[in-house]
Structures are given as structure tokens and as C-alpha cells.
A and B are shown apart, each in its own frame.
Chain A
């Protein structure tokens, strides 16, 4: 039997024919990277290939690395295997990776969402035979509202807080969610302030996407000037001494996990906005259908449940162990900040 085009081994997703890894979790010679989050773009690979808009992001995170940037849909061939990158809509610079060899096509999603968030280039379904998908939110309990409705709620919340003389502090991870928030906050209400982790990442992304102005909170920032405005901070800032400067404040979190009442309550956050950079249940099912794939491999999230359901509705679906952190996505930002 011939080896599969992409195999899951100890180091990552391996294409033997090209001797290349996709989003490896152990250092390898050549890695094609879907996007800039820490569990997908790790340190220590000799050569990185990724979309050119992800280049400054991973350079910012990983330092001086050897990296080649590609265009969307640009085919590059390694040992006769054709590779190309296609928008995944997850965060800015996030790609699906298409692999074609001897007429067989596989697509690896990394992380993705099917809604246009106004910052990342929107997701495009890519036809394939085998689709390797995440399913972070692969349960029917997850159902996103349109982004416009969520931001209307967020801006309304900010306005209300301002009228009550309070500062709004909203938590979202520093790469992706923070810029999505910045882009859609209504600056006619007030000014946007940022935590250092957010400001640094946003600096890197500004040349790639237009966003409203933000002000970094420093030691010199006066308490009074922040009052009534909105502060964008990573989740780990909640409960830290840093946040004391915002008093009196109310907190909110913007995440898909806010679907669960318990998730918000245990973090002692005042308000939860359901805003995710992943697909919801229907989004996953629609996306899979649009690829025309018969075989589906689930990499992270509620993999067992989701692949069982896919099998029931007629797909040849299975789960593969990876070290992507779907189920622990909530903790993602913590690492970003601690770096």
C-alpha cells in the first residue's frame, strides 16, 4: 500500500513525498505554517514557508528565522508535490494548505472560520479529496450570531458603561481577536486603550490592515484620562495588578467559549460576548460540504464527537492526535503574554 499523502507522526503532519511538515510541533527542516498562533507556528524549524502577511507576525513572535512568503493561490512545487495557500479567515495571514500529488488533493485548514471578520481575508472553500479540519467548536451548542449584531452589543455595552462613569475592559487574545475588536469598536463613543501585549502585536499588523488608533497604557497614563473609554487587554490581565488603574471598571470577554454561562461565571467576568475566530457547528458542516471531500480528518477540538457525527451522515471521518490546542484554546493568550 502506498503511504498516505499526509501522515501524522511524532513531529507533526508529514508529507513524505516532499519531505515537508505542516504546522509541526517538533523542530523540523522545512515547515509550511498555516498561521501565527503559538500552537501552529513553533520555534526551532530550519525553514518556514507561510503566507507573506504572516511573515512579519511570526518574525515578531519567533525572532530571526528563515522564512519564505507566498501569495494566495501561488503554487510552489517541492519534489513534484504541488503546494498552495488559500485564505482560512481565522486571523490575518491565516491559510489553508492545499497539497496535490499525482491527482490526489488534500487540504489542511489549520484554524478557520467561514464568516468575514473584516480583518482577515475571508475563507474560501477549496475542493479536495481529503479535508483535514479543526473542530474547536464542533458541537451543536455553538451557534454564532452575525458579527454586526455582536459588535452592536459590544458598542452598546461600552456606551452604557461610559454613561455610568465606568471604564470598559474587554479581553481577547492578542493576535487576531484584539485586532478584530479594534477594527469594529465605535470610536465615536470614546478612545481605545491597549495593554502592552496587544499594542505590540497590533503594531506589527497595522501595515497589513487599516485600524483605528489605539493608545498604549503606560506608567505615565493618568487614571482620569482612561475613565469611560475602552481598554483592550489579554485575558491574563484579568485579576492582575495592572488592571487596578482602570477602577471603576467593568469587564467583558469576547470568545466562543462565552456561549457557556459557566465559562464566564468561573472567570468572574461581568459580561460575555460570543465572538469566535473559529467556525460554529453549522459553519463546520457547511465548509466540509463545500470542499466536496469524502474523507475528513479531525485534528483538534471535540474531535471524537464531531467525527462520529460526520460518519453518521456519510463521511469517511476519523480523528488524529495532534498537539494543537483546540480544547484549551481559552488559554492561548496566556502564553502569548508570558513570552
Chain B
């Protein structure tokens, strides 16, 4: 555990990528085999299920720290991280523990089935036998994800350095449905093993947002354009008469979308399609809200399947007749996909094609983009015709060109302290718009991002001096500041007081030039809802 805690501490205490990679490489070269597997699992978000709920953990920690629960809760709001709060309030260890990372994880897995009294005993004992940073790491293993600025990509790079195996191959090996407690470092990383590959998806190729002018991409004839659909990016795999559906978050979601079972037998074995799962109520593409009725469900009722069926809007084909064809040019892969689509698509087989848009100039492309919202898409994807299917987020061959967001000017009404690197700073805000009489501000959205660190600090300072009331961690503030809030989508909602739900609201500008009476009204917001 010590070397793992030391690794996390090093990763956590530098912002330099080279140092992070060096620390990880060092770890992967020196750690115990079993610990390495667990480290890969943890850094790729494969933690054991949470064995204790956090309410109990708070109670037990405050008891051990000998402080009242309310004081623990207040501290937590300020520290902004539960594991960190627990690590801080508990007294230092008398006899530090020597257990290894995989020992701890095995215990955490076993803990789930234990009684509440046993769980409490276990936590108290271990909290008291670890020092601050190890206690923090141990608690993190139980409570939540490690957000320490290490992407899977970065970990893969370090692993490649430590093992001399190609990065892309490693990325592929680490995908899919493996369990850290059931595999070994040798099996997972070092060995070649054909049958393991049956369910494995390919790493997704992700595009950056277009930053310059579209004309700068060069000759329009070298490019392909299609809509950027707003659903769940997925890979659908048919191999050996079995179906596997993977989401972009590397989650196996086959069972959630029984619609695709009919792909077996109709789509040839050895096919991997990259596409977007979209809701398709009443034979039309629905909104993301429709899709949300499907995402959370484990058991899909017949009724729901009829009301909100899904389709796969296919973008690309990555494997064909059992062969990895990612290296082939996009144009060639599309030809295969289009042929497949023409042969198999039907009422029964929910395979749709993300149509390529024909155009002769960038102006025509731009016009198509303007109309994206009506098509229920987020904008356009631009792909170079000769591009291979790369791994991860890469610049150059693929670009996403989203429609400009919708914006309104809103008034800051409430603030809450942030988490992680924003702990103890008021960075989570609630915004209001005027009701139609312009008398009262009605809450319409929350936003946490879009300001610079300097702006956050300035606003934090102002909030602390202009608090009207405190409601636990939330403070109401004097209505004074106006912000331009951007969002991607908008729909009616009965759940919101304003009657409107917005998608991805964020701050784009601090309108210091505007006073609160110049903010928009709810009526003006409702006018943005498409018919």
C-alpha cells in the first residue's frame, strides 16, 4: 500500500505530464505483480463495488475523530472531498499497517457481505493504522474514483515504457470486461491470448472541436461530412454468434439494448460497427431526454421498448470478416458499411446509417450545420476521406464542428463550494432569469465551468462578502452579477421550477457591463425551445 500511496501522492503533486509518466513507469517496473493489475484497474475506473454507504462512513469517522456529526459535515463541505476529510480529522496512526494494495482490495471486496458492525470495526481499525496519505488513499478505494489527472492514455504510455509493448496494443488489451481479482499482470498485459479478444472493442477514435476556420481544412473534396448525433457513442460487435455492445465509457451495455440481438445471424460474424445509439420513438429520432428513459434501466419492459425503441446510427466499420480494418481509409470502410446497411437494414434490424452529406463547397457545409438543431443533431463531424481509425483523441483527420450554443444572460443567485481543486472556493453557481413580470428571479440552471481561475477567485471573494443567507453548504447572494450562460439543448420540463431544462449549461462570459435588470426573462428562454 505504501508504494501505491506514494505513487498517488506523486501523481497528485505534479502538473507535469512527464513527471507523472515517469512515476507511473517506475511503479509498473517495481511493484508487486498483483498490485500492478489493481493499479491498472483503479486507474481505468474498475473499482470493486462500494462496500459501505457514505452516510455510515461519515458517522463512523466523526465518532472516531470525537467530533459531532454536524461538525464533520461542515468540514466535509469545506474540504470538498469525503476521503480527504476523513483522512484529516482522524488522529495519526500509532502502528502503521504494512498490508499491500491487493490485500486491501481483497478485504474491501469481502467487506460487502459483512455485517454493519463488522464493517465499522474494519474501518475503525484500518483508519487508525494508516497515516494521513495512506488513509486518504484507502478511503478513496472505498468511496469513489481517483481524480488525480491521470487519463487512461497517460497510464497506457507509462505501461508501454515499462513493458516495451506498443501503446495501441496495450490500449486494446485493457479494454473490455476483465476482472482484476481474476487475472494476472502476465495474462492481462504480457501474454497474447486469442480468445480473450472475443468481446473486446477497439479504443474509440475521438475528435477535437474545430478551432480554426473550416476553410483552413483545405480542399473540400478531401473531406466527408455527416451529422454529429446526440446519443450514446457505441461499438456493436458481432463475433462467433455473440453480440457485445460497448459504450464509450467502456461499459458493456448489451443487455440494455435488446433491439440489437437480431444483429446476430444477419450481420456476419467478425464485424465491429462504430455508431451512436439513438432513441427512435414513433419512427423518428428523439431527444436525449427520451434516451435517458433507457439509460438508467436494468430491466427493460415491453412497454418501454415499444414507446422508446433505439437504433444504431452507424458511423464506421472497424472490423470486417474478422479482420481489423482500422488502417484502411475512411472512404473504403464507409463503402463496406454502406453495402452492409443496404443489405441488412429493415424494420426488424435497427441498423441505420449516419448519412454522408453531399456538398461542393465549405459554404454548403456551413449551411448544413446551421440547420443541425432541426435534425436533432449537435452539429457536424468532418472526416478526411483517407483517414485511418486512430486511437483516442487525435488532431488532424477528424473534427467535430458543433452548432453554436444557445445563450441567455442570467443572474447569479446562489453559490456552493466546489470540489477537488476548487475545494473551499465558491465555484458552483445557480442562475436565475426574470419571471415574465420582471419581478422575481426564477432559478433556471446550475453551472460550474467556464470562468478562469482568477475570475473564480474574484467571485469567491465577492460571494463571501455578499452572502444573504446560508442553507448548509449553499449561500444565497445579493443579485448583482450577470453571466452569459451557454447550453447545447433546451426542452420543456415539469421537474424544473422554471419549466425548462437545459443541457450542459456553462458560463461563457462574465457580463460586468450589464446590470441585473438587463438579464433575460423566462419567456425569452422558452422562445428558444424548438417546436
Compute the total of residue contacts between A and B using a CB distance below 8 Å.
Answer: 71
Chain A residues with CB under 8 Å of B81's CB are 261-262
Q: How far is the CB of B157 from chain A (nearest CB, A)?
A: 21
Given the known A-B contacts A261-B12, A261-B81, A266-B453, are A328 and B464 also in contact in the complex, defined by CB atoms under 8 Å? Answer: yes
Of B88, B422, B464, B470, most A-chain CB atoms within 10 Å: B88
The answer on a CB contact under 8 Å between A263 and B423 is: yes
How many Å lie between the Cα of A302 and that of B78 in the bound state? 10
- Can you list, as one digit per residue, whether each of A122-141 has a CB less than 8 Å from chain B (1) or not (0)? 00000000000000000111
Which residue of A is nearest B423, CB measured?
A262
- Alpha-carbon gap, A127 to B15, bound state (A): 48
Determine if B88 and A266 form an interchain contact, defined as CB atoms under 8 angstroms apart. no
Contact of A260 among B71, B74, B423, B470 (CB under 8 A): B423
Look across to chain B and name the residue whose beta carbon is closest to the beta carbon of A260: B423
Check: A19 CB closer than 8 A to any chain B CB.
Answer: no
Contact with B along A248-265 (1 / 0, CB 8 A): 000000000101111111
Alpha-carbon separation in the docked complex, A210 to B457 (Å): 37
Measured between C-beta atoms, what is the minimum distance from B464 to chain A in Å? 6
Q: How far is the CA of A135 from the CA of B199 in the complex (A)?
A: 58
B67 near A260 with CB under 8 A, answer no
**B89 touching A270 by the CB < 8 A rule?**
no
* Residue A16 is within 8 A (CB to CB) of chain B in the complex: no
A304 to chain B, nearest CB (A): 7
A261-B84, A264-B13, A328-B461 given; A139·B423 CB < 8 A: no
Decide yes or no whether B145 CB sits under 8 A from chain A. no
Question: Quick one: CB contact mask for A297-327 with B, threshold 8 Å, 1 for yes?
Answer: 0000010110011001000000000000001
Chain A nearest CB, measured from B8 CB (Å) = 11
Measured CB to CB, the closest approach of chain A to B93, in angstroms, equals: 13
Asked if A140 and B65 make an inter-chain contact with CB atoms under 8 angstroms apart, the answer reads yes
Q: Does B79 contact A (CB under 8 A)?
A: yes
Whether B80 sits at the interface, judged by CB under 8 Å, is yes
Pick from A265, A271, A327 the residue with the most CB of B within 10 Å: A265
- In this complex, what residue of A is CB-closest to B425? A266
Q: Say yes or no for B85: interface residue by CB 8 A criterion.
A: yes
Closest to B89 in A: A140
Residue of B nearest to A265 (CB): B421
Q: How far is the CA of A261 from the CA of B420 in the complex (A)?
A: 8
Of A259, A262, A270, A327, which is within 8 A of B464 by CB?
A327
Q: Which of A141, A312, A327, A331 contacts B88 (CB 8 A)?
A: A141
B476 at the interface (CB under 8 A from A): no
Tell me whether A189 is interfacial, beta carbon within 8 Å. Answer: no
Cβ contact within 8 Å between A263 and B71: no
Task: Using CB atoms, name the residue of chain B closest to A270.
Answer: B14
Contact A262 B422 (CB under 8 A): yes
User: Among the listed B67, B74, B424, B457, which residue makes an inter-chain contact with A262, where contact means beta carbons less than 8 Å apart?
Assistant: B424
Evaluate contact between B470 and A304: CB separation under 8 angstroms.
yes
Q: Does A143 contact B (CB under 8 A)?
A: yes
Chain A residue nearest to B85 (CB atoms) is A141
Q: Give Cα distance in the complex from A328 to B460, angstroms.
A: 9
- Interface positions, chain B 118-164, Cβ under 8 Å from A, are none
In the assembled complex, the Cα of A268 lies from the Cα of B464 at a distance in Å of 23
Chain B residues within an 8 Å CB radius of A257? 424
Looking at the assembled complex, report how far the CB atom of B194 sits from the nearest CB atom of chain A, in whole angstroms. Answer: 43
A331–B88 Cα gap in the complex (Å)? 24
A308→B420 CA distance, assembly (Å):
27
Write the B400-423 contact mask toward A (1 if CB under 8 angstroms, else 0): 000000000000000000111111
- Shortest CB-to-CB span from B17 to chain A, Å, is 13
CA distance A331 to B81 in the complex (A): 23
Majority secondary structure of chain A interface residues (helix, strand, loop or mixed) = helix
Take A140-B67, A141-B79, A266-B421 as given contacts and tell me if A259 and B88 are in contact as well, using a CB distance cutoff of 8 Å. yes
A304 to B464, CA, bound (A): 13
Chain A nearest Cβ from B417, distance in angstroms = 10
**Bound state CA distance, A263 and B75, in angstroms?**
15
Contact partner of B13 (CB less than 8 A), chosen from A259, A260, A271, A304, is A271
A312 touching B68, Cβ below 8 Å: yes
CB neighbours of B470 from chain A (8 A): 304
How far, in Å, is A338 (CB) from chain B's closest CB?
A: 14
Please determine whether B74 and A139 come into contact, CB atoms closer than 8 angstroms: yes
Closest residue on chain B to residue A271 by CB atoms:
B13
Bound Cα distance from A272 to B13, whole angstroms: 8
Chain B proximity of A328: nearest CB distance (Å): 6
- Known interface pairs A141-B88, A141-B89, A327-B464. Does A305 touch B423 (Cβ–Cβ under 8 Å)? no
Once A262-B81, A271-B13, A302-B78 are accepted as A-B contacts, the answer to whether A143 and B421 lie under 8 Å apart by CB is: no
Q: Which residues of A contact B78 (CB under 8 A)?
A: 139, 141, 302
The distance from the CB of B135 to the nearest CB of chain A, in whole angstroms, is 13
Please give, as numbers and ranges, the residues of chain A lying within 8 Å of B419 by CB-CB distance.
262
Selected contact of B422 from candidates A266, A270, A272, CB within 8 Å = A266
- Asked if B71 and A309 make an inter-chain contact with CB atoms under 8 angstroms apart, the answer reads yes
Q: What 1/0 mask marks residues of chain A from 161 to 182 whose CB sits below 8 Å from any chain B CB?
A: 0000000000000000000000
Interface positions of B from 32 to 88, Cβ below 8 Å from A? 65, 67-68, 70-72, 74-75, 78-81, 84-85, 88
A312 neighbours in B (Cβ, 8 Å): 68
* A265 contacts B65, C-beta separation under 8 Å: no
Which B-chain residue is minimally distant from A272 (CB atoms)?
B13
B287 to chain A minimum Cβ distance, whole angstroms, is: 36
Residue contact B424 to A260, C-beta cutoff 8 Å: yes
Name which residue of chain B comes closest to A262, CB basis. B423
CA distance A264 to B89 in the complex (A): 19
Contact check, A140 vs B75: say whether CB atoms are below 8 A apart. yes
Specify which chain A residues have a CB less than 8 angstroms from the CB of B88 in the assembled complex.
140-143, 259
Contact mask for chain A residues 56-84; partner B; CB cutoff 8 A; 1 contact, 0 none: 00000000000000000000000000000
- A139–B291 Cα distance when bound, in Å, is 44
B427 to chain A, nearest CB (A): 9
B142 smallest CB distance to A (angstroms): 18
Min distance, Cβ A332 to any Cβ of chain B, angstroms: 12
Q: Once the chains are docked, how many angstroms separate the CA of A139 from the CA of B78? A: 9
Q: Which residues of A contact B85 (CB under 8 A)?
A: 141
Shortest Cβ gap from A59 to chain B (Å): 29
Report A-chain residues with C-beta under 8 Å of the C-beta of B84: 260-261
CB nearest neighbor in B for A252: B13
Residues of A within 8 A of B422 (CB): 262, 266
Residues from 230 to 263 in A contacting B, C-beta threshold 8 Å: 257, 259-263
For A331, list chain B residues within 8 Å (CB): 457, 461
Report the Cα distance A162→B67, complex, angstroms: 43
B221 to chain A, nearest CB (A): 44
Complex CA–CA separation, A139 to B84 (angstroms): 14
Give the distance in Å from the alpha carbon of A326 to the alpha carbon of B100 in the complex: 41
Q: Please pick, from A139, A262, A328, the residue contacting B420 in the complex, using a CB distance under 8 A.
A: A262
Asked whether, in the complex, the Cβ of B420 is within 8 Å of the Cβ of A265, the reply is yes
- Name B's A-contacting residues (CB within 8 A): 12-15, 65, 67-68, 70-72, 74-75, 78-81, 84-85, 88-89, 418-425, 453, 457, 461, 464, 470
Interface residues of A (CB under 8 A from B): 139-143, 257, 259-266, 268, 270-272, 302, 304-305, 308-309, 312, 327-328, 331
4 new A-B contacts at CB < 8 Å, known A262-B81, A262-B421, A263-B424: A140-B67, A260-B80, A304-B470, A308-B70
Some 13 contacts from A to B, beta carbons below 8 A apart, are A141-B79, A260-B79, A261-B81, A261-B421, A261-B423, A262-B81, A262-B419, A265-B12, A270-B15, A302-B78, A305-B74, A309-B71, A328-B464
Query: Which 7 pairs from chain A and chain B are nearest by CB?
Result: A262-B423, A265-B421, A141-B88, A266-B421, A262-B421, A140-B89, A141-B75
